[in-house]
Structures are given as C-alpha cells and as structure tokens.
Amino acid sequence: MINSEISEIKKQFKHENCSITKVSGCYVDGEKTVKTKFTETFLLMPEEETFKYFEIFKKTLSGRVGRNLINMEFPLEAEFEGGTQAFLMKLRDSQLKDEELLDEFYNKVIENYDYTGNYLILLLYAVYDIPGKTNDNILMDDASDEVYSYILCSICPVNLSKPGLSYYDDTNQFHKRIQDWVVNMPINGFLFPAFNDRSTDIHSILYYSKDTEGLQSNFVDQLFGCRLPLSAGVQKESFQAIIQETLGDECEYDLVKNIHEKLNEIIEDHKVKEIAEPLTLDKTEVKNLFTECGVEEEKLQEFDSNYEKITGDNGSLIATNVINTKTFEVKTPDVVIKVNPERTDLVETKVVDGRRCLVIEISDQVEINGILVKPSC
C-alpha cells in the first residue's frame, strides 16, 4: 500500500464517513490471562467513546511506509486450508460475529505476542464502498463498482495512570488522584486484506509497528506466516557494511561522499517524479550505484556474495532507510561535523603541515554556541 491508499482508509475513521460495523476487544494482563472480552456495534457506542477509538485506529495506520508500515505478501502455503491467510479470511468473513473464531485469534496473539504488561487487543470490521476516480483523481461517490471489507487489529498497552493530586468539585479540595488503567495508543497492529491499487488484495497485509527495530518477528511469523523485511536500522547497518566490505582498505572519504551524494540525487529524483512507492534498491542497483561513483571493477568482484552474506534472503533496501537525507555527518573521536547534504563540497580532506585534516570552507557568518563571531583569518 502507498500513502494515498492508507490515507483513504484513515478518512473512514470519522463519523461522517464511518464504515465500521463491529468492534471486538480482549483485555490481557501481564500474566497472559484474559480479563474480559467484548463485541459491540460501533455506531451504537457513546459518541465520546467512538472518538477515542478513531484515534487508536488512525494511529495503527500512521508512520512511514517501509519503516513503521510494512507491506507483506503471504506465501502460497498460507492460503491453503489451515494456513494463516486462510484463517484471517475466515475471521474477516465472519464479520466478528463468530465467538469461537475470535477466541482462536485472541489465543494466537496471546501465545506469540512478546510484551511485558497489560494490553488490549482491538479488532474492527468495516465495509467501504470504494468510490470511483476521475482521470484527475477526483473521487466520485456515486460511481462505485467494488466493496472493500476488511479487519483492522490494534494492540494497545494498558497502563496505570500516574499518581498525583486532583481537584474534587464536591469537597472543593485537592486529594490524591485515584489511579486507573488507561488504554494507550497502539504499538502494533495490521490491516487485512491490503488495499492495493484501491482494491482488495487478499494476498497481502499491511503491518504496523511503532518500534521500527522491534518488529516482533516471531509474532509475525506465527500469526501471518510472512517474512519480515530487514528493519530500518538493520538496513542502514547493512548498507554501511556493504560499503566497508566492498571498499576494504580503500574506504576513503571522497569515495564514500560520492556514494552518499549520488544516492541523495536518486532519492530527490524519485520525489520529483512523484512516484508513490518507496524507492527500493536491490543487489544490482547498489552495484550500479558503486560503479557510477568510481568503485573499481576489481573491488566489485566479490560484491554479489558479500551483498547476499550481509543482507540474507531479504536483499532489498529502502533508499531513505540507508542514508540520512537531511544531514551529512562526519565524525572523529573528538569532533562531529554536520553538513547540509547539498553542500558537502564545503568539506574536504587535505594534508596540512604533514597532518591529515578536514578543511571546512566558511562564510562571513560563523556562530560559536549561538554567538556570532568574526572569522580570524
């Protein structure tokens, strides 16, 4: 799913557009014991409560695609009878009316979800009448030819409110606040089926994780049977390792700077073209990038095996995950220099009086700890 498709679903989470019919929940304590369960008709709930649910559902579809929101495809075996995708299809088609199916789902989550503390498993079922679109992307509410029915799951920590003093109207006094259990914003969740190309895609799922590094791989494997891509942080570390492994002793400042500059150009070009999908780099594209930046053919002889060794089977890297597009950082044990990526030409390496130095071109405006100073040279 791309950002516009995710936004289209999020727009359903308000009263004027609401397509949610049922909401089910299961409250689990820190001992993995079910405390309570419920299923309710959403629009019959008190309005002030529905607004809180809307916030939770929107949060489950928030963040950056490729970091917090991860598109995954089911393996073929998951769609056979008894497979993970087949089970989710049954759950969706039940419209959350089958208590046995709900209990089976809750038990799967409780058994495989790694979390210390209380949490609430929320499930919604919704039916969205997909409006048609004109050639200039204007929605036509009266021109629908498909209905998208889906479930959205949100897993929310439930924590005790902080202790403190509260004002009580009846006594006109301040007393110790009564602590209660509060449902927080979700830290994990999923949307099934995916809404790809503004249509139902039963072969894919959109997974949400607030923590871009703690993706709950066992939970994903057991509940969905899908293979998680490398996390954003691991992708960045892998790209750095590929550069170091490829260049070896010739991992020099100018060459690494060229790679970062060229990759920034590719990312910017991707933005200008307004391509909705995240820019991904496979083994061939990374190798071509290195070649364009001046890496010698001799250094690339072992590239393929090194790349596969470092990235494993999940070999694709999202470009915005592997470099910082907002700053170019140069670090020594005692000095950190941060540069606008478009002005990396201001920093270069030189030998001065026999010493290796980083040389920074400066303008008339120089600040030291917020104080405007006049350059002494």
CA end-to-end span of the chain: 55
Q: Rounded to 5, what percent of the chain is helix, strand, coil?
A: 35, 30, 35
d(CA 314, CA 47) in angstroms, rounded, equals 45
The pLDDT assigned to 254 comes to 87
State the pTM of this model.
0.85
Name the one residue in this structure whose structure tokens are 């917020």: 370
Name the one residue in this structure whose structure tokens are 């489950």: 60
Phi and psi (nearest 5°) for 98? -100, 105
The pLDDT assigned to 364 comes to 79
Which amino acid, one-letter code, is at 196?
N
- Summarize the confidence of residues 54-72 as an average pLDDT: 95
User: How does residue 36 score in pLDDT terms, banded at 50, 70 and 90?
Assistant: very high
CB-based contact 10:61 (threshold 8 Å): yes
CB-based contact 77:225 (threshold 8 Å): yes
Q: Quickly list H helices, the chain.
A: 3-10, 47-59, 84-93, 99-112, 217-224, 232-247, 253-272, 283-292, 303-311, 319-322
Residue-wise pLDDT for 119-175, tens only, equals 999 999 999 999 887 766 666 766 677 899 999 999 999 998 888 888 888 889 888
What H or E segment, with its residue span, contains residue 350?
strand 347-352
* Two tokens, residue 188: 């994990």
Q: Which residues neighbour 331 within 8 Å (Cβ) at sequence distance 6 or greater?
A: 337
Q: Measured between alpha carbons, how far is residue 222 from residues 85, 87, 88, 233 in Å?
A: 11, 12, 12, 23
Residue-wise pLDDT for 82-111, tens only, equals 999 999 999 999 999 999 999 999 999 999
Mean pLDDT over each residue of the chain, to the nearest integer = 90
SS3 state of residue 329: strand
Residue-wise pLDDT for 239-258, tens only, equals 999 999 998 887 888 889 99
d(CA 243, CA 248) in angstroms, rounded, equals 8
Conformation bin of residue 70: beta by default, left when phi > 0, alpha when psi is -120 to 50 = beta
Within 42-184, strands assigned E span 69-73, 118-130, 132-133, 139-140, 146-160, 165-168, 173-176, 181-183
Look at strands 199-201 and 173-176 and give their pairing.
unpaired
CB-based burial of residue 110 (10 Å sphere; 0-12 exposed, 13-18 middle, 19+ buried)?
middle
136: how many CB neighbours lie within 10 A of its CB? 5
Residue-wise pLDDT for 303-327, tens only, equals 888 898 898 766 789 999 998 888 8
CB-based burial of residue 221 (10 Å sphere; 0-12 exposed, 13-18 middle, 19+ buried)?
middle
Helices then strands, counting H and E runs in the chain, come out as: 10, 22
Return the sign of the alpha-carbon dihedral for residues 115, 205, 317, 319. negative
d(CA 119, CA 30) in angstroms, rounded, equals 8
Q: Of the given ranges (35-39, 71-75, 203-207, 230-234), which has the lowest mean pLDDT?
A: 230-234
Confidence check: pLDDT of 283 > 80:
yes
